[in-house]
């Protein structure tokens, strides 16, 4: 585990993670040098500055947790025998003829003989990932079954940090002329524009993930359902994993452990027959 952690920290994503941390703390330092937080510190009003720094720290810790944790890598066939259990021959026969290959989903890259449903091989990570969502270059890791909820939580905390930072960054100093105003607030204005852009990106990411989670689908399934064996026979609005918005959100955020998606899939198929 220590060797894997060392490899993850100093692997291909080292520069991306370092740049993220540097940018985060440089922006935080600039905001602290701004009058609003500095005046609060000087007058002994430490609640807001301390809370802001703690929130930034939590966002950085969540970033590293999501980027370094196992997203749900499938390392061997032996560890995945449980995913072939609980599915009867009658249920297997319910699969339409066009998807008979579903029963033996084999990965041609890492040579898994039995690839669990909703998993996909990531060319970047060189592993199959359970309930694969996407490979995120921002964290240099896959988003899958084990870290997806933490990724969404990270986006939520990061959005709070950015919106709070944007509020601080828009407290520009007064100046009698535009030229003097620009000279006085140039650094803060640059930070405000950058934070506003990042806020918009994170907001769109968080919104899209919450929407997909509420439907119990993944980014990969949403974008490529016409190429996925267990979905391409379904109608445009049909999702065999959808259990209702409340149950989808509850299962995603509140239930821990591995889900045997084959059982969910076949149960839904049985209900439709």
Instruction: Give the Cα separation of 144 and 70 in Å (integer).
Output: 9
16 vs 135, which has greater pLDDT? 135
pLDDT digits (tens, 9 = 90+) for 4-57: 444 455 555 778 888 888 889 888 888 877 766 666 666 667 788 889 889 999
Q: 73 near 128, Cβ under 8 Å?
A: yes
Q: Indicate the SS3 state at residue 128.
A: strand
Mean pLDDT of 244-259: 91
Predicted local confidence at residue 100, as pLDDT: 38
Strand locations in the chain (E): 73-74, 120-122, 127-129, 134-136, 141-143
**Among residues 122, 128, 136, 142, which one is catalytic?**
136
Residue 136 is among the residues annotated as catalytic for this protein: yes
CA-nearest of 176, 200, 73, 65 to 125 is 73
Angle CA 228–233–235, to nearest 5: 110
Residue pLDDT, tens place only, 66-111? 999 999 998 875 444 444 444 444 444 454 444 434 445 678 777 7
Residue pair 265/95 in contact by the 8 Å Cβ criterion = no
Considering the entire predicted model, what is its pTM? 0.82
Whether 144 contacts 129, CB under 8 Å:
yes
């Amino acid at each position: 585990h220590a060797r894997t952690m060392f490899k993850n920290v100093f692997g291909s994503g080292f520069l991306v993670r370092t740049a993220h941390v540097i940018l985060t703390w440089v922006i935080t330092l600039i905001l602290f040098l701004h009058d609003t937080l500095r005046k609060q510190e000087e007058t002994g009003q430490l609640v807001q500055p301390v809370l802001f720094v703690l929130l930034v720290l939590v966002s950085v810790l969540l970033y590293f947790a999501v980027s370094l944790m196992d997203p749900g890598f499938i390392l061997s066939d032996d560890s995945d025998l449980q995913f072939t259990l609980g599915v009867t021959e009658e249920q297997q026969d319910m699969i339409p003829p066009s998807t008979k290959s579903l029963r033996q989903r084999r990965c041609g890259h890492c040579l898994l003989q039995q690839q669990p449903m909703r998993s996909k091989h990531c060319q970047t990570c060189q592993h199959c990932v359970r309930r694969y969502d996407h490979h995120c270059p921002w964290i240099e890791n896959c988003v899958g079954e084990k870290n997806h909820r933490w990724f969404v939580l990270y986006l939520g905390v990061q959005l709070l940090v950015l919106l709070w930072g944007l509020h601080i960054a828009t407290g520009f100093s007064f100046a009698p002329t535009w030229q003097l105003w620009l000279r006085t607030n140039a650094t803060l204005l640059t930070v405000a524009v950058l934070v506003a852009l990042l806020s918009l990106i994170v907001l769109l990411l968080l919104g899209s993930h919450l929407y997909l989670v509420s439907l119990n689908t993944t980014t990969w399934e949403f974008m490529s359902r016409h190429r996925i064996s267990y979905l391409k026979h379904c109608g445009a609005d049909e999702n065999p994993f959808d259990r209702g918005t409340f149950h989808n959100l509850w299962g995603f955020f509140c239930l821990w452990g591995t889900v045997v998606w084959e059982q969910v899939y076949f149960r839904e198929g049985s209900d439709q027959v």
